Amino acid sequence: MSEHTPRAISALPVLEETAHQTYPSATLYVVATPIGNVADISVRALHVLSLVDAVACEDTRNTAQLMTRFGLHRPLIAAHQHNEREVAETLIARLQAGERIALVSDAGTPAVSDPGARIVEAVRAAGLRVLPLPGASAAVTALSASGLVNDQFYFVGFLPAKARQRENFLSTLRTVTATMVFYEAPHRILDCATALAAVFEPEREVVFARELTKMFEEIHRCPLSEAEAWIRADAHREKGEFVVLLAGAPSQDGESDADAERILKILLTECSVKQAASLAAQITGRKKNALYDRALQLKQEE
Residue with the CB atom nearest ligand SAM in the bound state: 108
Question: Which residue from 300, 232, 215, 298 is spatially nearest to 263, judged by alpha carbons?
Answer: 298
Residue 126 φ then ψ, to 5°: -80, 5
* Torsion over CA: 213, 217, 222, 225 (sign): negative
Find the shortest distance in angstroms from Cβ 180 to ligand SAM. 13
| Stretch of 13-21, 118-126, 177-185, 285-293 lying at the interface with ligand SAM (CB under 6 A) | 177-185
Read off the DSSP letter of residue 7: P
> In the chain, where do the E strands start and end?
27-31, 54-57, 76-78, 100-104, 129-133, 153-158, 179-184, 205-210, 218-223, 242-246
114 forms part of the interface with ligand SAM (CB under 6 A): yes
Q: Which is nearer to ligand SAM, 107 or 120 (CB)?
A: 107
Return the biggest CA–CA distance within the chain: 71
Find the shortest distance in angstroms from Cβ 149 to ligand SAM. 21
Exposure pattern of 66-93 as b/e (b: 16+ CB <10 Å)? bbeeeebebebbebbeeebeebbeebbe
x/- mask, ligand SAM, residues 20-39, rule CB under 6 A, reads: ---------------xx---
Q: Which is nearer to ligand SAM, 180 or 273 (CB)?
A: 180
Cα–Cα dist 130/30, whole Å: 7
Binder of ligand SAM out of 60, 83, 90, 113 (CB under 6 A): 113
45 forms part of the interface with ligand SAM (CB under 6 A): no
259 forms part of the interface with ligand SAM (CB under 6 A): no
Find the shortest distance in angstroms from Cβ 205 to ligand SAM. 18
282 forms part of the interface with ligand SAM (CB under 6 A): no
Contacts to ligand SAM by CB under 6 A: 35-36, 105, 107-109, 112-114, 137-139, 183-185, 209, 211-214, 241-243
